[in-house]
Structure 1
Amino acid sequence: MISLRFFLSLVFSICCTDVVYALNLSSPSLHEVLLPVPNTLADKILGARLSVSGATAAVSALTDNTRASGSVYIYDAEESWRLTTELNSPLSTDNFGQAIVLENNTLIVSADRDGEDAGAVYVFERNSLSSPEPWQQTAKISPPDGIAGDRFGGAIALAGDTLYIGAPLHTQGKLYIFKRNPESRQWLYIDSVIPDDPQALKFA
């Protein structure tokens, strides 16, 4: 269930049309709201990935060329959705925005083409909306044994202070587990999982 202030809302995208809608599901009749399209979209496709938490939606925009870098746009809802932040990678060929997950004040964005396709994951944390930078990068996570071609960040999941990151091309595939120290806010590598089946491919 996705709460948006005092009513329910669902955000969804229509691929390849640069359109993202928000729907109010608690209204007697269904209303759709077209989210503002960023001026910096260029040749990127808005709505490639999305994640919603409370009154905030993170929407990634990717190009057809996975060697390029995408963007992640943050929308916040008061009475209506408005674009508040644009996040970009300092690199131009890392596929930034391949996977995103938003939970409360933490946003995780993967760039699985970073470093000769070894992959990396960025962590952003929310500041005050009145801040010049409402979202601040606080970490860039890489695997302890990553090599070129692993595609670390192909899939990600966040549960509280535990972050799960897939590297589907690390041999048969590998799942990495990181945990955030609640005091230092640093992300620490905890464990990894590989498939038992020797024939398995692209695990995680």
Structure 2
Amino acid sequence: MVSRRALIRAFGVSVPAGLAGCNIFTNGGRDEVATPTRTATPTATLPPPTDGELSPSTRSETRTETTTDISSLTEPAAAGVTEEAGTPALTPAPSGTVDDFGRAVALSADAAVVLAESDGAYVFEADGDWRLITVLTPDDQENFGGYGTSAAMVGEEVVLGGPGAGSEGGAVYLFARDDGQWRQRHQFVPNEDRYDFGRSVAFDGQRVVVGDNNNPTTMESWSGSAYVFGRDGTNWTQEAALGSDAENLFGTAVAVAGDTVLVGAPYAESDGQETGAVFVYEQADGEWLQQMMLTPDDPVDDGLFGQAVALDGDTAVVGAPGDGGSSAYVFEQTETGWTRRARLTATDADSGDDFGRSVAYTDGLAVLGAPDTGESGHAYVFRAADDWTGTRRLVPKNPNQDAEFGFVVALHDTTALVGSPVFRAASPAYLFDL
């Protein structure tokens, strides 16, 4: 019988050195991705809820947590790598068996969101110490639909994806803090049928991008889509539906910054190998057009390049956690295209450790998760100022031995939030000051 972790790893649908040569990546006649022509139509905006406490979303349960001494779970750090053991910072206390607390996380200056798959989105705020404020759930159902949740956050707004939510095929929700209360402000639904809408989300404050690929338990489709929504005041309009007929899990990961969108397709073919790819789209004259396809110049079959993507300004970081050699790649946009600047690896992570399963990047600082490293997972910190040489390893203190520390990561300035989910057990999320 295939284990749940093996299934997640095999299909990778939610969700990570040395300096490398500089190569420009273009389409090169590979998988053609068409942008369907559609008339932009506004999606319905939900009316704001009435004022008052969100008491229906606040849980009170009894919590039991199993921890194991860190020395029995963590291999010694490699020479030249410093290690920091984080103290549990965010917990669903008081709570009982919270299923997969930390399967998705998001972070801003003074707020953090941690999703538990069958429970809801726990909101924490920083006021001296971090404290639990409320638990968010959609207005039309009890939770976000189980496995495959996603999250992205800017300021006092958070976008939460639930591929099992909504009446059919998934839904994505925007929540905002208003007068100290978190309320649902919008529900995103595409202008066509979908499979797992909300498998991945990206948000830059003005645009939301939603990935929709396949259901790993039924394998309804290996192809996927990515939907771009733009904001005009309080109204949201679907600007584009990006996609391909190729069975490449297009939409597994998405990222957005202004007029640039990245879409990961970890099973895309390149030069006859299933190496994975990231498709780059840019908006011009109101249309979203594919500009090029990023691929590694040292491709390996089943490399899962594009399993995770992050974008900030003109720099992108792409995770490739496949068994062929777990790694991540840094790309920089130039006047002539995108150039690969570095390949990131962890000297103490093996090819099967899922290094690059999750990626967060901002302003020259990258954090990459390796949830299968050791017994409980690791995360690694890389800096552009250090020529992308990793010198810091993040680990959980007193972890649950079944945790997947590093399954998801989030960054705001120099603060990192690392999820450490455990199936049907309690496990905290961790904050690190980098």
TM-score bracket for this pair, using the shorter chain length: 0.7 to 0.9
Q: What is the aligned counterpart of 1:123 among 280, 286, 291?
A: 280
**Structure 1 residue 127: Cα displacement:** 2.5
Q: Please state whether the residue corresponding to 1:97 is helix, strand or coil.
A: coil
Counting only pairs closer than 5 Å after superposition, residues 1-204 of structure 1 correspond to structure 2 as 1=108, 2=154, 8-17=156-165, 18-27=170-179, 30-42=182-194, 44-64=195-215, 65=219, 68-78=222-232, 79-89=234-244, 91-115=245-269, 116-128=273-285, 131=286, 133=287, 135-169=288-322, 171-181=324-334, 183-184=335-336, 186-197=337-348, 199=350, 201-204=353-356
- Worse-superposed segment, 54-63 or 190-199: 190-199
Decide whether aligned partners of structure 1 residues 74 and 171 sit closer, same or farther in structure 2, where only a CA change above 3 A counts.
same
In the superposition, the TM-score normalised over structure 2's length comes to 0.41
Q: Which has the higher contact order (CA 8 A, sep 6+)?
A: 2
**Structure 1 residue 74: Cα displacement:** 1.1
CA contact (8 A) 2:175 2:186 kept: no
AA paired with 1:22? Answer: L
Q: Please state whether the residue corresponding to 1:138 is helix, strand or coil.
A: strand
CA contact (8 A) 1:94 1:113 kept: yes
Q: Distance in 1 between matches of 2:313 and 2:343?
A: 18
Structure 2, unmatched stretches of 5+, are: 1-107, 109-153, 357-434
Q: Runs of 4+ in structure 1 displaced over 6 angstroms?
A: none
AA paired with 1:106? Answer: T
Decide whether aligned partners of structure 1 residues 123 and 138 sit closer, same or farther in structure 2, where only a CA change above 3 A counts.
same
**Structure 1 residue 16: Cα displacement:** 0.7
Decide whether aligned partners of structure 1 residues 9 and 197 sit closer, same or farther in structure 2, where only a CA change above 3 A counts.
closer
**Structure 1 residue 117: Cα displacement:** 2.8
CA contact (8 A) 1:19 1:34 kept: no
**Structure 1 residue 9: Cα displacement:** 2.8
Q: Distance in 2 between matches of 1:195 and 1:157?
A: 18
Larger Rg: 2
Q: Please state whether the residue corresponding to 1:150 is helix, strand or coil.
A: coil
Percent sequence identity is 26
- Compute the RMSD of aligned alpha carbons: 2.2
- Worse-superposed segment, 20-29 or 79-88: 20-29
Decide whether aligned partners of structure 1 residues 82 and 172 sit closer, same or farther in structure 2, where only a CA change above 3 A counts.
same
Instruction: Specify which structure has the higher proportion of strand.
Output: 1
CA contact (8 A) 1:100 1:156 kept: yes
Structure 1, unmatched stretches of 5+, are: none
AA paired with 2:157? Answer: S
